[in-house]
Structure 1
Amino acid sequence: MPAETTADDPTEAVHSAWRADSARLVGALTRMTRDVELAADLAQDALVAALEQWPVSGVPDNPTAWLMTTAKRRGIDHFRRADNLRRKVAEIEDARRGEEARMPDLDAQVDHIEDDVLRLVFLSCHPSLTAESRAALTLRLVGGLSTAEIARGFLTTESTMGQRISRAKRTLSEADAEFELPTGQERTDRLDDVMAVIYLIFNEGYTATAGEDWMRPDLAGEATRLARMLSALAPDEPEVLGLQALLEIQGSRTAARLDVDGTPVLLEAQDRTRWDHLMIRRGLAALRRAEELAADGTPVGTYFLQASIAAQHALAARPEDTDWRRIAALYDVLSRAAPGPVVEVNRAVAHGRAYGPGAGLAVLDAVDAAALGGSPLVPSVRGDLLERAGLHPDAASAFAEAARRTRNEGERVVLLRRAGDNLARVPDN
Structure 2
Amino acid sequence: MDEDVLRTLTPAVIAVLVRRGADFAAAENAVQEALVEAVRGWRDQPPQDPKGWLITVAWRKFIDATRSETARHRREELHDQEPAPPPVGDVDDTLWLYFLCAHPSLSPGSAVALTLRAVGGLTTRQIAQAHLVPEATMAQRISRAKRTVADHRLDQPGDIATVLRVLYLVFNEGYSGDTDLAAEAIRLTRQLATMLAHPEVRGLLALMMLHHARRRARTTATGALVPLAEQDRTRWDTSMISEGITILQAALAEERPGEYQCQAAIAALHADAPTAEQTDWVQIVEWYDELLTFNDSSVVRLNRAVAVGEADGARAGLAALADVDPDLPRQAAVAAHLHEKNGDVDQAADLYAVAAERATNLAERHHLLTQAARLNQTPGDHEVRG
Range of TM-score over shorter length = 0.7 to 0.9
Matched, 1:251 2:212: yes
State the distance in 2 between where 1:252 and 1:132 align. 26
**Paired letter, 2:379:** V
1:262 to 1:45, Cα distance in 2 relative to 1, 3 A: farther
Deviation at 1:333, TM superposition (A): 2.0
Alignment of 1:360-379 (within 5 A): 360-370=317-327, 372=328, 375=329, 377-379=330-332
1:192 paired residue number: 161
Which stretch of structure 1 is more off in the superposition, 397-406 or 31-40? 31-40
1:202 paired residue number: 171
Deviation at 1:417, TM superposition (A): 1.8
Alignment of 1:10-29 (within 5 A): 27=11
2:259 paired residue number: 302
**Paired letter, 1:81:** S
State the distance in 1 between where 2:173 and 2:233 align. 23
- TM-score, normalising length: structure 1: 0.66
Q: Which runs of 5+ in 2 are unaligned?
A: 37-42, 45-53, 70-74, 84-91, 382-386
Alignment of 1:26-425 (within 5 A): 27=11, 30-31=14-15, 34=18, 35-38=23-26, 78=65, 81-82=68-69, 83=75, 120-126=97-103, 129=106, 134-135=111-112, 137-138=114-115, 146=127, 165-177=142-154, 186=157, 189-205=158-174, 218-235=180-197, 237-294=198-255, 299-370=256-327, 372=328, 375=329, 377-425=330-378
**Paired letter, 1:363:** A
Deviation at 1:364, TM superposition (A): 1.2
1:365 to 1:194, Cα distance in 2 relative to 1, 3 A: same
Contact kept, 8 Å, 2:98 with 2:119, in 1: the verdict is yes
Contact kept, 8 Å, 2:130 with 2:180, in 1: the verdict is no
Deviation at 1:26, TM superposition (A): 6.1
State the distance in 1 between where 2:94 and 2:223 align. 31
- Specify which structure has the higher proportion of helix: 1
Deviation at 1:190, TM superposition (A): 2.0
State the distance in 2 between where 1:394 and 1:423 align. 10
**Paired letter, 2:171:** F
State the distance in 2 between where 1:407 and 1:148 align. 19
State the distance in 2 between where 1:270 and 1:413 align. 17
**Paired letter, 1:122:** F
Deviation at 1:216, TM superposition (A): 9.1
State the distance in 2 between where 1:263 and 1:160 align. 31
Q: Which runs of 5+ in 1 are unaligned?
A: 4-19, 50-59, 62-67, 92-114, 153-157
State the distance in 2 between where 1:367 and 1:319 align. 25
Contact kept, 8 Å, 1:22 with 1:142, in 2: the verdict is no
C-alpha offsets along residues 302-360 of structure 1, whole Å, 9 cap, x if unaligned? 11111111111111111111001111121122223311100000001101111111111
**Paired letter, 1:221:** A
1:21 to 1:411, Cα distance in 2 relative to 1, 3 A: farther
- TM-score, normalising length: structure 2: 0.73
**Paired letter, 2:14:** T
Contact kept, 8 Å, 2:207 with 2:244, in 1: the verdict is yes
Percent same amino acid at aligned positions? 41
Deviation at 1:149, TM superposition (A): 7.3
2:72 paired residue number: none
Deviation at 1:132, TM superposition (A): 6.8
1:385 to 1:217, Cα distance in 2 relative to 1, 3 A: farther
Deviation at 1:161, TM superposition (A): 9.0
State the distance in 1 between where 2:286 and 2:376 align. 34
Deviation at 1:197, TM superposition (A): 1.1
Q: Give the SS at the match of 1:337.
A: coil
1:32 to 1:353, Cα distance in 2 relative to 1, 3 A: same
State the distance in 2 between where 1:129 and 1:410 align. 31
1:149 to 1:369, Cα distance in 2 relative to 1, 3 A: farther
1:358 to 1:46, Cα distance in 2 relative to 1, 3 A: farther
Contact kept, 8 Å, 2:63 with 2:79, in 1: the verdict is no
State the distance in 1 between where 2:160 and 2:96 align. 12
The structure number with the bigger radius of gyration is: 2
Contact kept, 8 Å, 1:256 with 1:265, in 2: the verdict is yes
Contact kept, 8 Å, 2:14 with 2:31, in 1: the verdict is no
**Paired letter, 1:271:** D
Contact kept, 8 Å, 2:259 with 2:291, in 1: the verdict is yes
Deviation at 1:419, TM superposition (A): 2.0
1:337 to 1:76, Cα distance in 2 relative to 1, 3 A: closer
Q: Give the superposed CA RMSD.
A: 4.4
